[in-house]
Amino acid sequence: MTALDQFPITLKHWMLGLSFWPDWLQPILSALLSIGPIILVFALLFGLVTVIERKALGRIQNRRGPNRVGIPFTNVRLAGFGQFIADGIKTLTKEDVVPRAADKVVHFLAPIALVVPVMLAFAVLPYGRNMVALDLPETGLVFFFAVGAATELSVFMAGWSSCNKYSLLGAMRAIAQMISYELPLILSTLTVVMLAGSLSLVSIVQQQESTLALGIHAWNVLTPWGLAGFFLFMVAAAAESNRTPFDLPEAESELVAGYFTEYSGFKFALFFLGEYFGLFAICGLGITLFLGGWTAPFAFLNVVPSWIWFFGKLAFLIGFFIWMRGTIPRLRADQLMNLAWKFLLPMTLVNMVVAAIWHFAGQAGWPGVIRWLFCAAMILGPYWMLGRGLETKVGKRVYRYAS
């Protein structure tokens, strides 16, 4: 079983061990063999997810969704999964319109500045046992957030360089949203760092591989602070990757496209790609921090290769995001800010306190159960109280003068 589990690693080592590589090429080749599969797998995943998303949204709305494009010149339809290849060819062959007044260099760089940092974020995620392109034992999580924050820069580059007031306004809205949600996003991950005592994503996953009773792996999501942290993280992640219900920056039905109004052709596709890559990366981080990374839920399921667990969880989370997109309507800008500052931020702070209590309370036997319930109550209380302020109160309308 370890043979299948470690198959990508052994394949890489076998390719590196081939005799005809000169010595000086070895480090470069090793890096390329790590980067290549990551980019290929995620690019393919991006293509498939665009089709699956459209199909799932169609089904949620009782439509069939795209089911036409298959292999050209044949009647093979592949249930519409040729669509993303056709879309890619279409965006590549489309005219690239750049506004005359645009700052051409920045306009050109913005989509690249979006995609490259997101791809860098893929480097530190552990996809399986021993499968991480860049293991940063001291700063893995910090690196992830550091490169993730660079996407905000690219968003503003796009809005500013287009020399279009709507693009600029869209960029400012997007920046306001991203910066507001960056805070709860990072604070919700801090609980994991506090308890794991490490910023390395690899060691965070390894700690979750220890077993609880009945051979259940100690995923962080099984603790009260982990569960709360996971939900807070996912809400903030949805906002950070501009997914519905937080897709205000490019609300298709209300704005043209927000900050990338003036982009067309393949540059537009790069923004699209960057958003999906951002979603995959942040889902991967959520899996790593809360859902046990590449570990199986139960010890006896360790026979299934670790990378299958990781991508299975990733598919599950992406499916959940699609489901959410098909359900929840878009927030208003003030609701967006209220949720970030009046609900998510206090909840993450409460969650940190709960995590500290969890750390110092008794662990084994009955004290463990009491600790679980106490911590859960400590989260549910503030959740209920903070949530009351967010709920819309629609009562009978009172007219002071007219009635």
Partner 1 sequence: MLGTGIIKGMVETARNFVGSYTDEARLTTVEYPEERIAPKENARQFPFLVYDGDDWHQGMRCVACQICEKECPPQCIYIEKSKDKKPDFIGKPQLYPAIFDIDLSVCMSCQICVEVCPFEAIKMDQEYELSTTDRFGGLLVHKDTLAKSNDYYRKIHPTDAAEIDARRIEDARKAEEKAKADAEAKAKAAVEAKAKAAAAPAGAPGATASPTPRTEPGKGEERPGAPAKAPGGASGAAPSSPPAGGTN
**Which CB, 201 or 232, lies closer to partner 1?**
232
Helix (H, G, I), strand (E, B) or coil at 66: coil
Residue 377 has a CB neighbour count (10 Å cut-off) of: 11
**Which CB, 24 or 384, lies closer to partner 1?**
384
**Which CB, 21 or 81, lies closer to partner 1?**
81
Q: Binding of partner 1 at residue 342 (CB under 8 A)? A: no
Separation of alpha carbons 346 and 384, rounded Å:
12
Q: Binding of partner 1 at residue 215 (CB under 8 A)? A: no
Token digits of residue 254: 């209300």
Separation of alpha carbons 285 and 396, rounded Å:
45
Contact with partner 1 (CB under 8 A) among 19, 62, 253, 403: 62
Contacts for 75 with CB less than 8 Å, ≥ 6 apart: none
Q: Binding of partner 1 at residue 328 (CB under 8 A)? A: yes
The residue to which tokens 């879309």 are assigned: 87
Q: Binding of partner 1 at residue 61 (CB under 8 A)? A: yes
Separation of alpha carbons 317 and 326, rounded Å:
14
Token digits of residue 281: 């990366």
**Which CB, 332 or 359, lies closer to partner 1?**
332
Q: Binding of partner 1 at residue 384 (CB under 8 A)? A: yes
**Which CB, 62 or 210, lies closer to partner 1?**
62
Phi-psi region of 104 (alpha: psi -120 to 50; beta: other; left: phi over 0): alpha
Q: CB of residue 63 vs partner 1: minimum separation in angstroms? A: 5
Contacts for 132 with CB less than 8 Å, ≥ 6 apart: 123, 124, 125, 126, 201, 202
From 37-45, 88-96, 125-133, 322-330, span contacting partner 1 (CB under 8 A): 322-330
Helix (H, G, I), strand (E, B) or coil at 94: coil
Q: Which helix (H) or strand (E) holds 104?
A: helix 104-121
CA torsion sign, 278 to 284 to 285 to 287?
A: positive
**What do you get for the CA distance between the two ends of the chain, in Å?**
77
From 37-45, 87-95, 111-119, 383-391, span contacting partner 1 (CB under 8 A): 383-391
Q: Which helix (H) or strand (E) holds 370?
A: helix 365-390
Q: CB of residue 327 vs partner 1: minimum separation in angstroms? A: 4
**Which CB, 70 or 99, lies closer to partner 1?**
70
Contact with partner 1 (CB under 8 A) among 323, 333, 362, 370: 323
Residue type for position 98? V
**Which CB, 196 or 340, lies closer to partner 1?**
340
* Count of residues making up the chain: 403
Q: Binding of partner 1 at residue 256 (CB under 8 A)? A: no
Contact with partner 1 (CB under 8 A) among 59, 77, 104, 332: 59
Q: CB of residue 329 vs partner 1: minimum separation in angstroms? A: 9
**Which CB, 55 or 173, lies closer to partner 1?**
55
Phi, psi of 21 (to 5 degrees): -80, 130
Residue type for position 126? P
Contact with partner 1 (CB under 8 A) among 7, 39, 63, 373: 63
Q: CB of residue 322 vs partner 1: minimum separation in angstroms? A: 10
Q: Binding of partner 1 at residue 324 (CB under 8 A)? A: yes
Q: Binding of partner 1 at residue 60 (CB under 8 A)? A: yes
Strand partners, 298: 216
Token digits of residue 262: 């003036």
Q: Binding of partner 1 at residue 74 (CB under 8 A)? A: no
From 150-158, 284-292, 363-371, 388-396, span contacting partner 1 (CB under 8 A): 388-396
Q: CB of residue 66 vs partner 1: minimum separation in angstroms? A: 11
| Contact set with partner 1 (CB under 8 A) | 56, 59-64, 67, 323-324, 326-328, 343, 383-384, 386-388, 390-391
